[in-house]
Structure 1
């Protein structure tokens, strides 16, 4: 009688735990393979967890609002045919209003061949059929999760995997999954005194707590250094102001500054690939990423922050970048981002100018090694050199700041990359065609 373990899936590179929102099934309920069994949430996105098999739920180990580590067993399912028959018989007897002593359920996990099949990939957000196909094709869990799903809620179907395999060029390398632990400090913070009824005490929500933990972890892990430059973006601003209406009429997409920023960053990453990297868990190797996936820090209506990802930004034209940026921004505001849309970034930008900030010192989005902040664009008089000599003119100016991990990014690389981003933005072609 195989007992299948349902484990908390991994829903992102930096996600080590998730919070149970609600169970959609109870102990004793029959569930079909791929049917949603519960809803969970991380600091990134809310997701549904499908059942890995057909069977009867025999045990639920955690309750709503419990925070559960990735890979932890959260429920057990009896996947035997006998269990299904017994459940159907029990339902028929209830309908006939015949009382019967309930059959005792065992909580012992029998590691059958079927159970081992699933437990070998405890973090996979995949159906047993997909896991089986992946094993036969020697696919890593990261490679499978990179496939775009056409099923309900973006789930990966058998046809999606087979279509991918037809054009498969090479297997993706498996990424390390374990999360390094942050050592606890021996420092005892001073007590905070407040007056009940006078001061306002607000409980941090789940997302804010996780953001706080991630920020502390990043500062603890990476020695941050921040460099600044000021650039003249007059040509870009003027072009965007005159092109945004024709652009929307032609492509049915809004033209904001963000896709222009993403485009410049992607070009600079090609010039300086060392900035598109991560540090290995043991801190001894630098992993340079081939894909250029640009995360864009986005504020939610709740005030929290999320980082949706523009994948392969270097391969998209301005129309494609605008469409992707608009989709991710809208999905963020409506809380409709899919798990794959908020994971896998290799470099992040944060437009602090949106809030009127002149510049910022952003915290690195782990496990990346740098993050770019874009300040507000302001018009002011500047001394410029013309054919007639130095003149004072009204120009659109902005500050860029790059925070980088000084373990692997030195001043030369950080400064050169930042200057290159500025060069691309300053050299914007004012006659560019949409």
Structure 2
């Protein structure tokens, strides 16, 4: 349901225990990343047992229900299980021939790029003090060569191995434990490693006087926004660059053509599609700003999908996405922007509407703010805030020399991830966006 999703909230079970269903029937509704998703049945069968109730928050990869599937699918499953069993016997036979001793973990298992973004894949291995099911100390963990071989094939790090419940003698991890863990979807894949560093900074336990007043419980969306913002500030070192742009040509053209544009195309002409158009052009000039970080790798995205930070009637924030913004004309951009804005106001945005953003803009000027210092929308590496367009007396160059004139001015502020975006790229990009604003063709046809 999205590459950045780590947990979801079960809203409602639409099939009760013991009820049968057909392939494609909706079994339950899950809320993830601020939208509600319907989960269809992958096959026909019967719901045997639900492991979580409505309103439970469940990590990604966790088993939530047991299904009894149809006879045809079941036979296929038994065939796959049999094949796996035979393969496991061969692995075990090879392991017995190669060694009878256990091997102590000394270095991390190499991880593939597909899993390098998970928290379990770190550069070094720290043994958690309480990782066994019984909670006893396991500071001297040992794993057999067979376990290590399977872990390498599945790209499982030592830290993730240490979290798997072990049923062997003296808390040893058995092959059956590892296969059961894989069948469950690796529920501890994204668990935070337990690090005990005596030199690490510890947050002081201070008792602040929070005062008295009306207590308002955060709704689910507000909690998700809070978690996302804290994660972003914790992950990316934020740096902000500022420029100002003379918006006079764009403002005059839009004021002169907005009525004719709506009459011709049936769409309102706001500033947002004009902003999206200019930002998409600047991204094509500086493609490295359209990226995300995957461990020590930088992924420069193939598509330019512009997210628009949008306020909901509840006061919460959501980011609908204009897909392939660089390939669309102004009429199509206006249509997409208006559609997303209407869906947001009516709480009708779907999962696809908020997925796939590669760069985000936030029009803080809508609320009268002169400028802003936005927080990066992970996993992106930059976000652009657009302030209020305000008339000011400015010194401009003319053929007669310098003159003072009333101009429509706006501040732009770009927050970027200094791990991969340096000052030159960040400053050049936001300046290029401002240049496109200032060089807007005032004779442009609609």
Instruction: Report the TM-score range of the alignment, normalised by the length of the smaller protein.
Output: 0.7 to 0.9
Secondary structure of 1:47's counterpart equals: strand
Secondary structure of 2:411's counterpart equals: strand
2:168 maps to: none
Secondary structure of 1:286's counterpart equals: strand
| 2:115/2:121 contact within 8 Å kept | no
Structure 1 stretches of at least 4 aligned residues deviating more than 2 Å after TM superposition? 111-119, 173-182, 188-195
| 2:43/2:70 contact within 8 Å kept | no
1:101 maps to: none
1:212 maps to: 226
Work out the CA distance in 1 between the residues paired with 2:272 and 2:432: 17
Deviation sequence 1:56-78 (CA, Å, 0-9, x none): 11000101110011221111111
| 2:383/2:415 contact within 8 Å kept | yes
2:235 maps to: 221
Q: Is 1:355 the equivalent of 2:364?
A: no
1:30 maps to: 20
Work out the CA distance in 2 between the residues paired with 1:298 and 1:348: 11
- Cα distance, 1:212 vs. partner? 0.8
Q: 1:334 aligns with which of 346, 367, 371?
A: 346
Work out the CA distance in 1 between the residues paired with 2:255 and 2:385: 22
| 1:43/1:208 contact within 8 Å kept | no
Q: CA 1:19/1:224 → structure 2, altered by over 3 Å: closer, same or farther?
A: same
Work out the CA distance in 1 between the residues paired with 2:218 and 2:444: 47
- Unaligned runs of 5+ residues in structure 2 are 82-112, 123-199
Work out the CA distance in 2 between the residues paired with 1:272 and 1:242: 32
Q: 1:73 aligns with which of 60, 63, 67?
A: 63
Work out the CA distance in 1 between the residues paired with 2:327 and 2:80: 36
Secondary structure of 1:323's counterpart equals: helix
Higher relative contact order by CA 8 Å / sep ≥ 6: 1 or 2? 1
TM-score normalised by structure 1 residue count = 0.74
Q: Is 1:231 the equivalent of 2:245?
A: yes
| 2:381/2:421 contact within 8 Å kept | yes
| 2:34/2:224 contact within 8 Å kept | no
1:47 maps to: 37
Q: 1:398 aligns with which of 401, 410, 424?
A: 410
Secondary structure of 1:268's counterpart equals: helix
Secondary structure of 1:400's counterpart equals: strand
1:310 maps to: 322
Q: Is 1:17 the equivalent of 2:7?
A: yes
Range that drifts further, 333-342 or 54-63: 333-342
Q: 2:357 aligns with which of 340, 345, 357?
A: 345
- Cα distance, 1:25 vs. partner? 1.3
Q: CA 1:23/1:301 → structure 2, altered by over 3 Å: closer, same or farther?
A: same
Secondary structure of 1:73's counterpart equals: coil
2:174 maps to: none
Q: CA 1:16/1:333 → structure 2, altered by over 3 Å: closer, same or farther?
A: same
Q: Is 1:271 the equivalent of 2:285?
A: yes
Work out the CA distance in 1 between the residues paired with 2:120 and 2:277: 33
Secondary structure of 1:266's counterpart equals: helix
| 1:13/1:177 contact within 8 Å kept | no
1:188 maps to: 204
| 1:13/1:343 contact within 8 Å kept | no
| 1:298/1:307 contact within 8 Å kept | yes
1:297 maps to: 309
| 2:293/2:381 contact within 8 Å kept | yes
- Cα distance, 1:176 vs. partner? 6.6
Larger Rg: 2
Secondary structure of 1:33's counterpart equals: coil
1:112-261 matches, within 5 Å, as 114-115=76-77, 178=118, 186-194=202-210, 198-261=212-275
Secondary structure of 1:359's counterpart equals: coil
Secondary structure of 2:29's counterpart equals: strand
Size of the aligned set, in residue pairs, is 338
Work out the CA distance in 2 between the residues paired with 1:408 and 1:333: 35
1:139 maps to: none
Deviation sequence 1:99-124 (CA, Å, 0-9, x none): xxxxxxxxxxxx966559999xxxxx
Secondary structure of 2:64's counterpart equals: strand
Work out the CA distance in 1 between the residues paired with 2:280 and 2:76: 45
1:86-97 matches, within 5 Å, as none
